[in-house]
Amino acid sequence: MALKKFLYHRPALAESIAQGLTGEGLIDYSSGLFLAAPRRTGKSTFLRQDLMPLCEQRGWEAVYVDLWTNRQEDPGYLIERSVMAALKRHEPQLKRLLKAAGVRRISLERTLHWDLERDSLPEGASLAEAFEALQVASGRMIVMIVDEAQHALNTDAGINAMFALKAARDALNLGGDSPGLRLILTGSSRDKLAMLVLSRDQPFFGSSVTPFPLLGEDFAEAYTADLNSKLAPGNLFDAKDVYAAFQRVGHRPELLGEVVRRVALELGQAPDLGKLMARGAAEVQHGLWAEYESAYGVLTPLQRAILRVMADAAASREPLAMFSDATVARINAIERAEGGKGAVKPQSIQAGLDALREKSLVWRSGRGAYALEDSGFGDWLLAT
Ligand SMILES: Nc1ncnc2c1ncn2[C@@H]1O[C@H](COP(=O)(O)OP(=O)(O)OP(=O)(O)O)[C@@H](O)[C@H]1O
Ligand SMILES: [Mg+2]
């Protein structure tokens, strides 16, 4: 289908992020950039197709890891592996350094003797040492991109890896004239990503989550032009209709593709493409919401109440104290409204949370904080 080949580049967005990374411009991401956007909205595509090439162009060393590609693997190991692979690419320079006189920094001495055939760090070595070696070997600023970073929160090892990243950032950014290390962490769940920055015991406490700008009208225009180039003149798509459909399906290119596929089936018969687009988008959106509706329909009043309280907290971007008196009171009120008895105790909330986790509606971090598994569910709850 058209969508497979069509790729819309976002150079201006990449440029503004790059400026933020250097800390020269209006915005300063030099202590870390936390980007969140819903699933399937084009985060990874942007990182790999636009941002990483720009980093290269600017003479920076971009290292990318997606913590979701292999969910069984410990996130700490995945991060190490990506850094070791980058070091391996710079092996010739490392060898040269080994021979050169004058490199006598103890920490670097050690790393020069690492076995680069391995994909994890040697025993007792730190991520900071690895980044430092990479920085010296490449002579460049390093941009570490951790895609789906919220997965690190699932395990202690993952949380440790985040602390190690932070330590590496601090170590490399201290030296006044060294190029330094920049971190970009992205996630498809704002609530989960926020846990890395919201609470005091998390590594990036004090930073904030930036919403990743969704693809917009300019995307719809370019997509429409691409579609129309394959159609006979006289029966063409209007960019306004395409954009309206795109908004309706949550700014997700694949779903827009699905709308277009539906429309394509009826093309010969109905001349009004605008109406067909609107109907197709409504059907696709309806399908999405029907899923939420049926999932919600089978929940107990208590489970519904817990979800609603969580959706509210997420919308107001407040950390949620799940078992506080205030929360218990609110859950009771909603539970009653949903047909329950209003006798909810903290223990029953715990059981309700466990049941919701079982259904993959709620997620629990390694440290016991809770978030909605799918923030789209929260949006739907707030809208109904
Ligand atoms: N700029 C773009 N131009 C054209 N198609 C795009 C663009 N960005 C994303 N897409 C398409 O949208 C789909 C989702 O993209 P991508 O995997 O980058 O999103 P994501 O936000 O990283 O998703 P996930 O939440 O699964 O990680 C893919 O099929 C991709 O080809
Ligand atoms: Mg992705």
For ligand 1, atom 15: residue with the closest CA:
42
pLDDT of residue 101: 56
Question: Which range has the top average pLDDT, 64-73, 125-134, 194-203, 304-313?
Answer: 304-313
pLDDT at 1: 46
| pLDDT 10s digits, 216-255 | 999 999 999 999 998 888 788 999 999 999 999 989 999 9
Looking at residue 266, its amino acid is: E
Average model confidence (pLDDT) across the chain:
88
- Pair (96, 140) in one structural domain: yes
- Is residue 221 assigned to a domain? no
SS3 per-residue string spanning 57-112 = HCCCEEEEEECCCCCCCCHHHHHHHHHHHHHHHCHHHHHHHHHCCCCCCHHHHHHH
Most ligand 1 atoms within 8 A of CB, residue of 40, 188, 218, 258 to mutate: 40
Question: Which residue in this structure is represented by tokens 């047909």?
Answer: 339
Which pLDDT does position 156 carry in this prediction? 85
Nearest CA residue ID for atom 9, ligand 1: 42
> Nearest CA to 75 among 63, 66, 62?
66
Domain match, 66 and 187 both: yes
Query: What pLDDT sits at residue 368?
Result: 80
Asked if 247 and 121 sit in the same domain, the reply is no
Report yes or no: 19 and 59 within 8 Å, Cβ to Cβ: no
Q: Are residues 6 and 28 in the same domain?
A: yes
Domain boundary among 183, 211, 239: 211
Minimum-distance ligand to the CA of 45? 1
Does 191 fall in a domain? yes
Residue 176: what pLDDT? 67
Report residues whose beta carbon is within 6 angstroms of any ligand 1 atom.
6-8, 39-45, 188, 253-254
The CATH number covering residue 361 comes to: 1.10.10
Domain membership of residue 313 (yes or no) is yes
Same domain, 311 and 287: no
Could you tell me if residue 368 is inside a domain?
yes
Examine residue 219 and state whether it is found in any structural domain, yes or no: no
38 and 181 share one domain: yes
Nearest to 193 by CA among 67, 99, 97: 67
Indicate if 116 and 183 belong to the same structural domain: yes
Residue 217 lies in a domain: no
User: What is the layout of strands, in order, in the sheet containing 33-36?
Assistant: 61-66, 142-147, 181-187, 33-36, 209-211
Q: Tokens for 103?
A: 């490199």
Question: 139-186 pLDDT, tens per residue?
Answer: 999 999 999 998 888 888 888 989 999 999 999 988 667 789 999 999
Q: Is 316 a member of any domain?
A: yes
Average pLDDT over residues 203-207: 86
Give the range among 14-23, 118-127, 185-194, 264-273 with minimum mean pLDDT. 264-273
Q: What is the pTM (predicted TM-score) of this model?
A: 0.86
Q: What pLDDT, in 10s, does the model give residues 220-231?
A: 999 999 999 988
pLDDT at site 109: 66
Q: Which ligand 1 atom is nearest residue 10's CA?
A: 1
Q: How far is the CA of 93 from the centre of ligand 1 (A)?
A: 36
pLDDT digits (tens, 9 = 90+) for 98-132: 776 555 555 566 776 777 778 888 888 889 889 98
Minimum-distance ligand 1 atom for the alpha carbon of 252: 12
Residue 42 token pair: 């084009």
* CA 94 to ligand 1 center in whole angstroms: 36
pLDDT at 270 over 70: no
Percentage of residues in the chain having pLDDT higher than 70: 94
> Which of 45, 46, 190 gets mutated to test ligand 1 (max ligand atoms within 8 A of its CB)?
45
The interaxial angle of helices 325-337 and 301-316, nearest 10 deg, is: 130
- Per residue in 127-146, pLDDT (tens digit) is 988 998 899 889 999 999 99
Contact in structure between 306 and 353 (CB atoms under 8 Å): yes
Answer yes or no: do 279 and 314 share one domain. Answer: no
pLDDT of residue 73 exceeding 90, the answer is no
Q: The tokens of 267 are what?
A: 């093309």
pLDDT in tens, 81-100: 999 999 999 988 887 877 76
Q: Which residues, including other chains, have CB under 8 Å from residue 215's CB and lie 6 or more apart?
A: 8, 10, 41, 42, 246, 251, 253
Please tell me whether residues 123 and 32 are part of one structural domain. yes
- Looking at 279, 295, 311, which one is the last position of a domain? 295
- Residue 356 clears pLDDT 60, i.e. is over it: yes
Q: What domain range includes position 238?
A: 230-295
Is 376 or 181 the better-scoring residue by pLDDT? Answer: 181
**What is the CA 119 to chain-centroid distance, rounded?**
25
Within 10 Å of residue 234's Cβ, how many Cβ atoms?
Answer: 6
70 pLDDT higher than 90: no
What 104-112 contacts at long range (C-beta under 8 Å, 24+ apart), as own/partner pairs, is 107/132, 108/132, 108/133, 108/136
Q: Which ligand is nearest to the CA of 257?
A: 1
Tell which of 211, 240, 266 closes a domain: 211
Find the 184 Cα to ligand 1 centroid distance in Å.
18
- Per the CB < 8 A criterion, the answer to whether 245 and 259 are in contact is yes
58 and 185 assigned to the same domain: yes
List, in sequence order, the alpha helices (H) in 199-300. Answer: 217-228, 239-248, 253-266, 273-297
- Co-location of 246 and 374 in the same domain: no
Please name which of 194, 377, 205, 379 lies closest in space to residue 296, comparing C-alpha atoms.
Answer: 377
Q: Quick check: 361 and 308 in contact, CB under 8 A?
A: no
Q: What is the pLDDT of residues 314-348, one digit of tens each?
A: 888 777 899 999 999 999 999 999 999 999 999 99
Q: 223-231 long-range CB contacts below 8 Å, 24 or more apart?
A: 223/6, 223/8, 223/253, 223/256, 226/2, 226/6, 227/2, 227/260, 230/2
Which of the ligands is closest to the CA of residue 65?
A: 2
**What's the confidence (pLDDT) of residue 4?**
55
Asked whether residue 30 falls in the same domain as residue 69, the answer is yes
Residue 3 pLDDT level (bands cut at 50, 70, 90) = very low
C-alpha span between 186 and 143 (Å, rounded): 13
User: What are residue 142's phi and psi, to 5 degrees?
Assistant: -105, 135
- For the chain, what is the domain count? 3
Evaluate whether residue 13 is within a structural domain.
yes
For residue 266, name the pLDDT band (cuts at 50, 70, 90).
confident
